[in-house]
Amino acid sequence: MNFKEYMKAARITEGTDDRTEYMTLGDKMLSNVFVNGQRNSPTVSCIYDADVTEFVKAYEKMKKECGYRLTVNTLMLRVMVEGLKAAPRLNAHYPYSHTATAGRLIVKKHIDVSMAICQKDGTTFQMKLDNLEEKSLKEIGELAEDARERLERAEVDEVMFEVSRQRIIGDLSRGKIVSPLAQAICGSFGKGKVLHLSQTLKSDFLKLTGKKPLQPESSVKMEEFREGSVCFTNWGAICDNPHIRVTGAPMLYPQVFLFTVGRIRDEKYAYEDEKGVVRLGTKKILPLGLNFDHKIGGFYELTPFINKLEEIFASPEVIFSW
């Protein structure tokens, strides 16, 4: 048993009939963001079935020739960045007040992507990749891979504990009392209290395993868990089924755009050849989820983004210049 497995087991209570799993600090923080997103963001969700037949051919060729590890995830991150350059109002935050029924759109200068990373144990965290508009395809791939590796090694609960503490302090400094006080009490007492790298837990773990004193990994920084300007998730890499499409997902408030990538599937279609004979062909379709906050405007705001992606998929040789 490693320390992560021990921490996970410590949150589970076995009963005679039921099995109770208490929320981790990461669960609490992410749930709070999702609930705020559902409350504050009237979301429009749509699926864009992109014809990536030629795009996949270009990707396969580039993967052989580029000299570094190139994945679909990395390529689609760069595709999203190009789309956001054409539709900058999607790369924004929209803080909103229910009480005042007022808010403001903050269009971000840099494209800082909150990328969903699924760990081996199934837990998912959003890590921020900064300034992707300035980075090459190779640099984006190295940045994403480095984030994955560091997250897998890190004692994330300790970092999240500090993130939560800073947020509570920030809320108190802005005059909010009830919510941060309730969070502090709930996280400190009862069966659902927050577990982090306390000295007691370390000692108990060492007694079970007989290992040397635990040295927490500090390779992940608190700032990397803060909200980016936009969110990217590749659920197609997790769900190995081309027939499932995510039609909607909660956004990370106060972000206004969520870009999801599915799994490429083959699709039959009818066409006329040069002699006018109807034939059957096969094309590759990549379902892309486009979710945006309706407060920024209507579908008009999304159109430049889609047009840019259509341009890339129609002329994929552009990826060799990235």
Express each pLDDT in 94-133 by its tens digit: 998 887 888 899 999 999 999 988 777 667 778 899 999 9
- For the cut 60, the answer to whether the pLDDT of residue 3 exceeds it is no
Average pLDDT, the chain: 80
- For the cut 80, the answer to whether the pLDDT of residue 54 exceeds it is yes
For 271-293, b/e burial (b = at least 16 CB within 10 A) is eeeeeeeeeeeeebbbbbbbbbb
Express each pLDDT in 189-203 by its tens digit: 665 565 555 555 556
Give the ranges where 174-278 is alpha helix by DSSP (H).
178-188, 199-209
How many CB atoms sit inside 10 A of residue 245's CB?
18
Fold classification of 42-154+223-322 (topology level): Chloramphenicol Acetyltransferase (3.30.559)
The full set of domain ranges for the chain reads 1-40+155-216, 42-154+223-322
Query: Distance (Å, rounded) from C-alpha 114 to C-alpha 91?
Result: 11
Q: Which helix (H) or strand (E) holds 19?
A: strand 19-21
Task: Look up the pTM and report it.
Answer: 0.77
Give the ranges where 155-272 is alpha helix by DSSP (H).
156-173, 178-188, 199-209
Handedness of CA 220, 221, 227, 231 (dihedral sign): negative
Give me the pLDDT at residue 112, please.
96
Q: What is the pLDDT confidence band of residue 57, given thresholds at 50, 70 and 90?
A: very high
